Amino acid sequence: MKKVLLSAYACIPNRGSEQGTGWVYATTLSQNNLAVHCLTLKDGKEAIDPILADGLYPNLHVHYVYLPAWVDGLVDKTLVGMYFHYLYWQWQAYQLARQLDGVHQFDLVHHVTYGSIQLGSFLYKLRKPFIFGPVSGGQRAPKALKRYFGRYWSREWMRDWVGTALQYLNPGFYKSVQMADRVIVTNRDTMALVERLRPNGPVERIWDAGLSASFLPAAPIVRAPGSTLKLLWVGRLLPRKALELTIQALGSVDQTLPITLTIVGGQGEMADQVPQYIEQYGVSDRVNWVGHVSYEQVRTHYAQSDVFFFTSLRDSCPHQLLEAMAFSLPVITLDLHGQAELVTDSTGLRIPVTNEEKVVADLARAVEWMYSHPNARLSMGRAGYDFAKTQVWDQKISAFINDIYPATFSTPVQTARQPSAQAT
Is residue 338 within 8 A of residue 187, CB to CB? The reply is yes
The CA distance from 280 to 269, in Å, is 19
Given a cut of 90, whether residue 412 has pLDDT beyond it is no
Quick one: pLDDT band at residue 380, thresholds 50, 70, 90?
Answer: very high
What is the pLDDT, as a whole number, of residue 255? 93
- How far CA 214 is from CA of 16, 223, 324, 422, in Å, comes to 15, 21, 14, 46
pLDDT band at 126 (very low <50, low <70, confident <90, very high): very high
Q: Is the pTM of this model over 0.85?
A: yes
Structure letter (DSSP) for residue 205 = E
Per residue in 268-324, pLDDT tens? 899 999 999 999 999 999 999 999 988 889 999 999 999 999 999 998 888 899 999
- Per-residue pLDDT, 206: 87
Q: Is the pLDDT of residue 136 over 50?
A: yes
Does the structure show a pLDDT above 80 at 418? no
Tens of pLDDT along 138-176? 889 999 999 999 999 988 888 888 878 887 778 888 888
Digit-coded pLDDT (tens) for 58-109: 999 999 999 999 998 888 777 788 888 999 999 999 999 999 999 999 999 9
C-beta atoms surrounding 265 within 10 Å:
23
| pLDDT of 424 higher than 50 | no
pLDDT score at 80: 80
Share the mean pLDDT of the chain.
90
From-to residues of CATH 3.40.50.2000 in the chain: 2-208+392-423, 229-389
Answer whether residue 43 shows pLDDT above 70. yes
The CA–CA distances, whole Å, from 20 to 174, 290, 291 equal 27, 24, 22
Burial group, residue 20, by CB count within 10 angstroms (0-12, 13-18, 19+): buried
Confidence of residue 410 (pLDDT cuts 50, 70, 90): low
* CATH class, range 2-208+392-423: alpha beta
Q: Can you identify the CATH homologous superfamily of domain 229-389?
A: Glycogen Phosphorylase B; (3.40.50.2000)
pLDDT at residue 414, as a whole number: 47
Alpha-carbon distances, residue 30 vs 6, 33, 111, 272, 401 (angstroms): 10, 6, 15, 43, 10
- pLDDT band at residue 411 under the 50/70/90 scheme: low
Q: Are 348 and 332 in contact (CB under 8 A)?
A: yes
